Amino acid sequence: MKSRITAALIGALMSATPAIAQDAPAEVANNTQFGDWTVACQAVTVARNICRLVQEQKMRDTKTLVARLIAFPTDKGGAVLLAQVPMGVYLPGGAVFRLEGNDDEPQQEMIWQRCIGDVCEAALALDADMMAKMTKAGAILFGYRGDISSEPIITRVSLEQFSNGIDALRVPN
């Protein structure tokens, strides 16, 4: 039941993306860097952009996608974190992350949203408390399984300047 409620919440957040205050203030330009995160803006009208933070990780030798993390602010100090991974991922294995250096904190399970094109996407709504924990940790360890018999694929995602980037994308009320 809890997973259905969480899935409904994520679905509502995803479908309400334009309704959530996401217009970037004028001072945040496309391609602005916040640590390893880059602001990526998309024009939705002549006068309105939707901007998100993006961190993409690829294999050094083949340049194939390992994970693309996308985040955008929500109200009350929270954010939505999306993780895109290559198509063919073992969905029952989940998409999860743990705060780096904090084994006492429970693993966070993201909810698979869809597979489209060449990626599958999972999401999780982050409240202000989790945002503060993530800032303190400085990084997360994100993981998923490529197929049923493979070892988990785990990648370190830097959170340096993450909260500053999310705050920069917030539209003042």
pLDDT digits (tens, 9 = 90+) for 53-85: 999 999 999 999 999 999 999 988 899 999 999
Q: Which sequence spans correspond to the domains of the chain?
A: 2-169
Q: Does domain 2-169 have CATH number 3.40.640.10?
A: no
pLDDT at 172: 62
Average pLDDT over residues 145-151: 92
Asked whether residue 15 carries a pLDDT value surpassing 70, the answer given is: no
d(CA 61, CA 59): 6
Asked whether residue 6 carries a pLDDT value surpassing 80, the answer given is: no
* Mean per-residue pLDDT over the chain, rounded: 86
d(CA 105, CA 116): 32
Q: pTM score, two decimals?
A: 0.81
pLDDT at 27: 62
